[in-house]
Amino acid sequence: MTEAHAGIEIHGARGWLVGVVVNGELCGRWRHAHFIRRPPAIAFFPATVARLELLDVKRYTIRNVDAGTVYTITRERFARFAYLQDGIAGKQWRAPLEYWDVLPMFGAQAVPAT
């Protein structure tokens, strides 16, 4: 089993859990407060994006635990539409929510608990 398929925890620059990599997919559960509001986006620190690339993660899936919404995007689509911006938390790659797919919810099965 390779590292990318072993359930590797990914932590952000400030040490909080971004998600877990399982079978080449980042699976995360975030509070609504951790989403970018203007424009609505999901953001990762550059070091996190670099680690996901190193692990050959092909898809990023983030569940908004407050709203129950599940967002997913391929690595290629993220790379195409994300832009680097310096904000309150520092420089982050931001991908506007309009470029993420929204998945239907199937209870707790939609995104594995992290």
Backbone angles phi, psi at 60, to 5 degrees: -115, 125
Question: What ranges do the domains of the chain cover?
Answer: 3-102
- Three-state SS for 98? helix
Distances in Å between the Cα of 15 and the Cα atoms of 10, 37, 47, 51, 103 are 9, 22, 12, 14, 28
pLDDT at 42: 93
- pLDDT: which is higher, 34 or 105: 34
Joined together, the tokens standing for residue 88 give 């309150």
pTM: 0.80
> pLDDT for 94-106, tens place per residue?
999 999 999 876 5
